[in-house]
Amino acid sequence: MKAPALGIDIGGSGIKFGLIDVDKGEMIGDRVKIDTPKPSTPDAVAAAIRDAILQLNWKGDKIGVGFPAIIVDGVSLSAANIDKAWIGTNVEELLHSYTGHKYYVINDADAAGVAERMYGRINHIKGTVLLLTLGTGIGSALFYDGILIPNTEFGHIQYKGDIAENWVSNRARKERSLDYDTWAKELSEFLDYMILMVSPRLIVLGGGISFRFDEFAHHFNHLRTPVVNATAYNDAGIIGAAIAAHPELMEPFV
């Protein structure tokens, strides 16, 4: 059995921590959640993470983090649902300066995708696979033969004169007072558009909405690409973040 890995999922309202059994992709014990500081400046968030790690008494040297931004070489190039002061910040170096650990930071939707790639629907699926998380916005993770193509941000592509997540995220469904059937019909149009763009072999839908997948899945039956729901649910971000700290586990499918 491999040693447990620590994953952190940083969100706009909360920061979640969990020890992960990387053999099974399961949480060891309970996850810990703290409120994201307001304002969520880099130093405030880093200090909150430092204090939480002290409480966890984590003795490992590596920590994986899912972060709500485009991440390139550890640097945040955007800031979704978090203070704009993060833009241009090297998240890995900042967190290291507060706790002394080595950090591996990836986009939060990519982290959710990594959890599915390792332990869920995407495991051992060759070719192109697209995961979309449907919540306040739309996160995306794209894989080819099990290799992550990071920072796709498909929720922000132009769609019907706006960005996609303002049309078909779960937040948009609520704001537009759409029932699930009407919303799912519109979502199927967007999925058809994504199929035209990237020709995936499989589409996986995650986020809180995936709990109700069976209620509206029939609206996707006409699409040429199968659509399924994710399996990792609320712990996906923590699990995928933990795996990010162990890139040796992410070998391509053969």
Per-residue model confidence (pLDDT) at position 1? 56
The segments of the chain whose pLDDT lies below 50 read: none
pTM over 0.85: yes
Per-residue model confidence (pLDDT) at position 80? 82
Per-residue model confidence as pLDDT tens digits over 24-52: 999 999 999 999 999 999 999 999 999 99
Per-residue model confidence (pLDDT) at position 254? 72
Which residue ranges form the domains of the chain, and what is each CATH number? 5-108+235-249 (3.30.420.40), 121-230 (3.30.420.40)
Per-residue model confidence (pLDDT) at position 83? 96
Report the chain's terminal Cα–Cα distance, integer Å: 23
Dist CA 198 CA 196 (whole Å): 6
Q: Look-up: residue for tokens 């099974």?
A: 24
Per-residue model confidence as pLDDT tens digits over 156-187: 999 999 999 999 999 999 999 999 999 999 99
Per-residue model confidence (pLDDT) at position 2? 78
Per-residue model confidence (pLDDT) at position 252? 82
Per-residue model confidence (pLDDT) at position 3? 85
Per-residue model confidence (pLDDT) at position 211? 86
CA distances from 72 to 49, 107, 149, 252 (A): 21, 9, 12, 21
